[in-house]
Structure 1
Amino acid sequence: MDLEQENKYGDNGEELINNVVANIFSFDNARRQRMLDGFYFQDAVFISPLLCVKGNYNIKNVFLLWKALNQQEPSIDNVCFDGQTCVVYMTQTLRPRLFPWVSLQIPVITTLYFKETDLDSGLWKIYQHEETWTIEGLLESVPLLSRWYDYVIRTMAGKVLVFSGQMLTSANDTAQLLNSRSQEIEDATRKLAQENAASWKSTSFYDDSDYNRKSNSDLE
């Protein structure tokens, strides 16, 4: 794919990448295979939270398995492309063929990483296809789990974290107060010791003078 040439024409480049993305996730085997052959490196890597495979042949089998497990193509919500990285926001519909009444909408973010086939060739292909989804997205795709997650788990987790934060704040404030009081006591003790030492020296001086005067008087 000559991305440099297509990017010069703006809309043509955007149309090209949108068509590439649509064909990659199409359930039409021929269209998807053309994308694998023309826009993927032969040793491209496919990564998802559940698996990691390398090579076009293995990537093709992953797509075929997903198609076999589902009756509906994913819907493309948005495509962002900066010339080297394409981020696709889409919704996967999990609808197994064996259980057609089950339908779960799972938000997925797919990132396609491009690089040049050769230095200054202007021909770019995908070397890594990465799909990510979150536990939150999976839970929210199931109605009952979604409500339980929102109103029970999140609420309880929020209260626990707030209480923990309050306890840590209180412990930190107490530690600072104790440290301050300890410093004040140490300063007061040092000051008292200095005053006692000065008083002792003064008293000793007068006592020694009286003793010397009394000794001189006795001698006379």
Structure 2
Amino acid sequence: MSKKEKREKDQEKNIPQQETACEEETEKQPEAETKAGDQEAAAEEAQSSPLEELQKELGRQKDLLLRTAAEYENFRKRTEKEKRAIYADATAEAVKAILPIADSLEYAVKAEDGATAEYQKGLELIQSQFNAALEKLGVSPVGEAGEEFNPELHNAVAHVEDESIAENTIVEVFQKGYMLKEKVIRHAMVKVAN
């Protein structure tokens, strides 16, 4: 065999080896690409996972903030309502303490026995000033003769049968009642017909 023939045989032998090596390299390339793709996907998951966690935490914090704000608003409204109620209750108690003075002034004005005109006029002036002060506080008198009896405002202490007067009508007021806006401070003591 000549050198030339030998070379050709070696080349033939080398060709399949080269092809095999090329095939192995091409097979290795997709595997490497797959591994690189898996690593990128894992990296994306690792990156998106903290992002998702942060978004969830943000949602929890936002919910907590909204709940706290709503709770604070309810607390503020409740406190404001309690303050108004405390003021109304304190005013009612103070007025209740001075109502006997109003009653005494009323009785003094009605009792004209032996009083001079000037004395009577002075008592009426004091009574009107006292009533004006009560009115400023939002206190109004309750219970007049001729009104219809209302058990929420009046306390019936006497009863009279009289066919000329409509049923459940107040005939006489023994003691005036007073209200502070919508709240009854003292019920009026009255005599009711029929």
- Relative to the length of structure 1, the TM-score reads 0.32
* Structure of larger gyration radius: 2
Q: Which has the higher helix share?
A: 2
